[in-house]
Amino acid sequence: MESRDSIADVWGPRTPHAGSEPGSWPARPDLRVLEEPTEWVQSVCLLCSTGCGLDIGVRDGRMVGVRGRAEDRVNHGRLGPKGLHGWEANASADRLTVPLIRKGGKLVESTWDEAMALIVDRSKALKEEYGRGSIGFYNSGQLFLEEYYTLALVAEAGIGTSHVDGNTRLCTATAAISLIESFGTDGAPGSYTDFDVTDALFVVGHNMASTQTVLWARVLDRLEGPNPPKLVVVDPRATVPARRADVHLAPRPGTNLPLMNGLLHQVIEKGWIDSDYIEAHTTGFADLVRTTDPWPLERTSAVTGVPASRLEAAAEILGTSPTLVSTCLQGVYQSLQATATAVQVNNLHLIRGLIGKPGATVFQMNGQPTAQNTRECGVNGEFVAFRNWNNADHVADTARVWNVEPSTLPTWTPPTDAMTMFRYAEAGAIRLLWIMGTNPAVSLPEAARIHKILERDELLTVVSDAWLTETARRADVVLPAAIWGEKTGCTTNADRTVHLSQKAIEPPGKARSDLDILLDYARRMDFRDKDGAPLIKWSDPEGAFEGWKACSKGRPCDYSGMSYELLRARGAVQWPCNDQYPEGRERQYEDGVFNTAMETCETYGHDIVTGAAYEPNEYAAMDPKGKAFIKGAEWVPPPEQPDDDYPLFLTTGRVTYHWHTRTKTGRVPALQAAAPEAIVELHADDAAALGISEGDVVAVRSRRGEARGRARVSGIEPGVVFMPFHYGDWDEPGRDSTANSLTITGWDPVSKQPYFKYAAVRVQRVSSGDGTRPPDPTQIQAGVSASRPRGRRERDSREPAGSRR
Ligand code: SF4
């Protein structure tokens, strides 16, 4: 049995292939068990948006390991370090097991009855005194579809509030809106199998090797096989993908849009476009010519800092490869002009006619495992099942499905985004904020401000979580939540693949699933439909899924042909799945017909520079009736530029071994040992100029705060500093390594996604380190593997041994 240490060997051994057909990626089942399981329970990994199919090994009511599902279309058996180790967090000793209520300034143990009564009494009183807009829900990208859909009914039909958003606002709001702006509705056009056959990859602001390790393994197996695709990477850091690229473009922070405009200018000027496709299937090309015309090579190079020769080389690959897969992630979404930039990547595919074909698609990638479900279910600022909140027919149809009066639904205004919700809470307009499965005290920008908001006396802060996070510590009521492996529900990943994650073990103590918590709340609030029957008709996950099927029927994200039975049997099914596509549909838009017709589209669109929303009558005048939108955009320079006081640009991001604010991964010994503390990556020239050596403790300061970490000299661009955002202080009270202490309260005008990728900062040496270089945030070097907990037998291999279903 070949053994593998997934901490040191993140991507595992290569299984190269020639890319003969979509899905031709060889299987490689990964396994890690600490004891021999007596039962395997079908599930999916929930530690990034890749969505790798796995089975949970159970023995004596405990999780004892996981194995990748070789037959799963997403991962073909592979699991990365978070997937192989992350499940250990379920058994951490500090799980919340009973509700907590703040009394006399302290959180004390309580009962479900007391906690729910407090929330329900306050909800009723607030609704009566201040109206439905006084209550807000800030949810997650890590719950299950059934929970989001139930939340949609609770919040929008029960309370009737428009203040419902997810932490998906921080990760995939731009993915959603850029797809809507170009193609009419949300949802990935293509399939992960497109990676298997494509001729070229364009990876924009997406450190796939760290954030989606199994997807990167899929790319590596093409790169190391015969007929490898060309690789173009855009990133200011010399990430693993950047080092593997044929062309690496490292633009200055805040210049993504000029870079894309310059590349598009080259493609158009050289005539590498598909004029027939543009004519037949798009509208707006002339606008793109106008906005890219001012970006010839010399100007693009001068503004972005990318050498002209590299721009030319990249444009040639992007313009001439017969097929192309592009991916965007936070380097685009969390930076300046996020939507405008993401749309330009869509434009590249539209002007080349490279969409809806094997090997030709664009992934506006998700960050979180169930971000797609948050968006589908309408609890992230979109309306349910990709309906248009501004379309009276869509509102009436939702009211029909939910059997409520249309006026019940909060459609007099656009759904509120998270940043505005926190502003409303700060101003006293929102007086009850229910936070589910997310940790804004660490993950939202300008952390000190968020802490003050959460602690406001006038605000009842309710937190449902599995641990006493930095947010939960500031709450008035804390509800202990069951998590992955302790409840059943569906998840949809970044290529529209739906998995059923089944309950494997009981949650600890009195913890409950978010679904059960919401159902209890709805019952106590006595939410009714227009006929006086209970608003919510289900009492378990499968019932919620059946309700969702009815709601999604006929919409682009149609689940009506799925069932728990089908998902158990098939393991993974893509939407839409209905009478027309009973097996699911692998690619959308093969026929060049997009969801842009007025009666279908999810919004009426925006000016992608200013964010101004178009009115229905404006959309009617330009109704493309199924053609995709090509939207150009002019550059707006960053509002905060480095100066004498703050001479460097800060960019934040993730490392391989941690997930979000480490609530799970920080409790897994091997993952925590691999990345135990915040690092501050600097270019060698900047480090030398500041008198900073490897491993020194440095302070990073912005106009908003300070955060500390250990210096790591890396291949980052000069003038740019990188910090991971994972590190709050739950495990080390008083530690000041929260990168979001430095970030800006500001957001993209269209997607409302906050800026995390640029802030002006200065860096100063605080003290000497211990002389060692901090670990590589991407991969612990072989032979320097992280330590493991003592006394545990571990098998970490490619093949199941002695396992049984
Ligand atoms: S790539 Fe993502 S989904 Fe797959 S095992 Fe790793 S963390 Fe889990």
- Listed in sequence order, the residues at least 6 apart from 215 whose beta carbon sits closer than 8 Å to its beta carbon are 50, 192, 195, 208
How far, in Å, is the centroid of ligand 1 from the Cα of 44?
A: 9
**Residue labelled with tokens 């909800």:** 123
Token pair, residue 711, equals 């210096």
The answer to whether residue 794 scores a pLDDT higher than 80 is: no
How far, in Å, is the centroid of ligand 1 from the Cα of 337?
A: 29
**Ligand 1 atom having least distance to the Cα of 75:** 4
Residues 126, 135 contacting (CB under 8 angstroms): yes
**Ligand 1 atom having least distance to the Cα of 47:** 7
Read off the pTM: 0.95
Handedness of CA 775, 780, 785, 788 (dihedral sign): positive
CB atoms within 10 A of CB 510: 14
CB atoms within 10 A of CB 393: 10
How far, in Å, is the centroid of ligand 1 from the Cα of 54?
A: 10
- The pLDDT, as a whole number, for residue 412 is 87
The answer to whether residue 762 scores a pLDDT higher than 50 is: yes
Q: Determine which helix (DSSP H) or strand (DSSP E) holds 66, and give its type and residue range.
A: strand 62-68
Of 81, 67, 69, which is closest to residue 802 (Cα–Cα)? 67
**Ligand 1 atom having least distance to the Cα of 44:** 3
- Listed in sequence order, the residues at least 6 apart from 496 whose beta carbon sits closer than 8 Å to its beta carbon are 187, 188, 191, 372, 557, 574, 575, 584
How far, in Å, is the centroid of ligand 1 from the Cα of 720?
A: 29
Q: Which of 7, 44, 82, 218 to mutate to test the pocket of ligand 1 (most atoms within 8 A of CB)?
A: 82
How far, in Å, is the centroid of ligand 1 from the Cα of 324?
A: 24
Residues 64, 476 contacting (CB under 8 angstroms): no
CA distance 728 to 327: 29
**Nearest Cα residue to atom 6 of ligand 1:** 80
How far, in Å, is the centroid of ligand 1 from the Cα of 246?
A: 26
Which residues face 56 on adjacent strands? 41, 66
Q: Which of 30, 46, 50 to mutate to test the pocket of ligand 1 (most atoms within 8 A of CB)?
A: 50
- Listed in sequence order, the residues at least 6 apart from 584 whose beta carbon sits closer than 8 Å to its beta carbon are 496, 561, 573, 574, 575, 576, 577
- The pLDDT, as a whole number, for residue 787 is 36
Q: Determine which helix (DSSP H) or strand (DSSP E) holds 353, and give its type and residue range.
A: none
- List the 200-204 sheet strands across, edge first: 247-249, 230-234, 200-204, 325-328, 361-364
How far, in Å, is the centroid of ligand 1 from the Cα of 21?
A: 24
Q: Which of 43, 66, 212 to mutate to test the pocket of ligand 1 (most atoms within 8 A of CB)?
A: 212
- The one-letter amino acid code at 87 reads W
CA distance 413 to 25: 47
Residues 680, 721 contacting (CB under 8 angstroms): yes
Tens digit of each residue's pLDDT (9 = 90 or more) over 18-72: 998 999 999 999 999 999 999 999 999 999 999 999 999 999 999 999 999 999 9
Q: Which of 79, 85, 656 to mutate to test the pocket of ligand 1 (most atoms within 8 A of CB)?
A: 79
**Ligand 1 atom having least distance to the Cα of 78:** 5
pLDDT band at 381 (very low <50, low <70, confident <90, very high): confident
The DSSP code for 739 is G
CA distance 137 to 122: 14
Q: Which of 4, 45, 49, 327 to mutate to test the pocket of ligand 1 (most atoms within 8 A of CB)?
A: 45
How far, in Å, is the centroid of ligand 1 from the Cα of 369?
A: 9
**646 three-state secondary structure:** coil
Of 553, 572, 569, which is closest to residue 561 (Cα–Cα)? 553
Tens digit of each residue's pLDDT (9 = 90 or more) over 479-489: 999 999 999 99
Please give the share of the chain, as a percent, with pLDDT higher than 90. 90
The answer to whether residue 795 scores a pLDDT higher than 80 is: no
Q: Determine which helix (DSSP H) or strand (DSSP E) holds 709, and give its type and residue range.
A: strand 706-713
Peptide bond into 576 cis (omega under 30): yes
**Ligand 1 atom having least distance to the Cα of 84:** 5
**Ligand 1 atom having least distance to the Cα of 48:** 2
How far, in Å, is the centroid of ligand 1 from the Cα of 490?
A: 16
How far, in Å, is the centroid of ligand 1 from the Cα of 385?
A: 26
Q: Which of 142, 192, 214, 484 to mutate to test the pocket of ligand 1 (most atoms within 8 A of CB)?
A: 214
What value does the CA radius of gyration of the chain take, rounded to a whole number of Å? 25
- The pLDDT, as a whole number, for residue 3 is 55
**What mean pLDDT do residues 762-785 have?**
75
CA distance 419 to 431: 15
- The DSSP line for 351-386 is HHT-SSBTTBEEEE--SSTTHHHHHHTT-SSSPGGG
Read off φ and ψ for residue 700, nearest 5 degrees: -105, 125
**Ligand 1 atom having least distance to the Cα of 369:** 3
**Ligand 1 atom having least distance to the Cα of 81:** 6
Of 708, 431, 377, which is closest to residue 551 (Cα–Cα)? 377
**Nearest Cα residue to atom 4 of ligand 1:** 52
How far, in Å, is the centroid of ligand 1 from the Cα of 79?
A: 6
Token pair, residue 519, equals 């159902």
How far, in Å, is the centroid of ligand 1 from the Cα of 50?
A: 6
**Ligand 1 atom having least distance to the Cα of 83:** 5
Tens digit of each residue's pLDDT (9 = 90 or more) over 348-373: 999 999 999 999 999 999 988 999 99
Mean pLDDT score across all residues of the chain: 94
Of 166, 159, 168, which is closest to residue 139 (Cα–Cα)? 166
**Residue labelled with tokens 């790798």:** 52
- In this structure, the residues whose C-beta lies within 6 A of any atom of ligand 1 are 45, 47-48, 50-52, 75, 79-80, 82-83, 212-214
Strands (E) across 271-353 are located at 282-283, 325-328
**Residue labelled with tokens 């899929």:** 218
Residues 214, 80 contacting (CB under 8 angstroms): yes
Considering 496-510, 732-746, 753-767, 768-782, the range whose residues carry the highest mean pLDDT is: 496-510
**Nearest Cα residue to atom 2 of ligand 1:** 48
Tens digit of each residue's pLDDT (9 = 90 or more) over 124-179: 999 999 999 999 999 999 999 999 999 999 999 999 999 999 999 998 999 999 99
pLDDT band at 777 (very low <50, low <70, confident <90, very high): confident
CA distance 258 to 634: 8
How far, in Å, is the centroid of ligand 1 from the Cα of 100?
A: 32
The DSSP code for 357 is B
User: What length is written for the chain?
Assistant: 805
pLDDT band at 774 (very low <50, low <70, confident <90, very high): confident
How far, in Å, is the centroid of ligand 1 from the Cα of 739?
A: 24
- The pLDDT, as a whole number, for residue 781 is 53
**What mean pLDDT do residues 442-469 have?**
96
61 burial (CB, 10 Å; 0-12 / 13-18 / 19+) is: exposed
What's the CA dihedral at 489, 491, 496, 497 to 10 degrees? -70
**575 three-state secondary structure:** coil
- The pLDDT, as a whole number, for residue 780 is 67
- The pLDDT, as a whole number, for residue 789 is 34
- The pLDDT, as a whole number, for residue 800 is 31
**Ligand 1 atom having least distance to the Cα of 68:** 5
How far, in Å, is the centroid of ligand 1 from the Cα of 500?
A: 16
Token pair, residue 582, equals 């009973």
563 burial (CB, 10 Å; 0-12 / 13-18 / 19+) is: middle
How far, in Å, is the centroid of ligand 1 from the Cα of 132?
A: 39
**Ligand 1 atom having least distance to the Cα of 82:** 7
**Nearest Cα residue to atom 8 of ligand 1:** 83
**Nearest Cα residue to atom 7 of ligand 1:** 47
| Maximum separation of any 2 CA atoms in the chain, in Å | 72
Residues 8, 783 contacting (CB under 8 angstroms): yes
Instruction: Tell me whether strands 100-103 and 477-480 are parallel, antiparallel or unpaired.
Output: antiparallel
- The pLDDT, as a whole number, for residue 164 is 97
How far, in Å, is the centroid of ligand 1 from the Cα of 781?
A: 20
Tens digit of each residue's pLDDT (9 = 90 or more) over 673-720: 999 999 999 999 999 999 999 999 999 999 999 999 999 998 888 999
Residues 205, 256 contacting (CB under 8 angstroms): yes
The answer to whether residue 220 scores a pLDDT higher than 60 is: yes
Please give the share of the chain, as a percent, with pLDDT higher than 70. 96
The answer to whether residue 111 scores a pLDDT higher than 90 is: yes
How far, in Å, is the centroid of ligand 1 from the Cα of 765?
A: 36
The DSSP code for 786 is P
CA distance 695 to 765: 10
**Ligand 1 atom having least distance to the Cα of 74:** 4
Residues 168, 376 contacting (CB under 8 angstroms): no
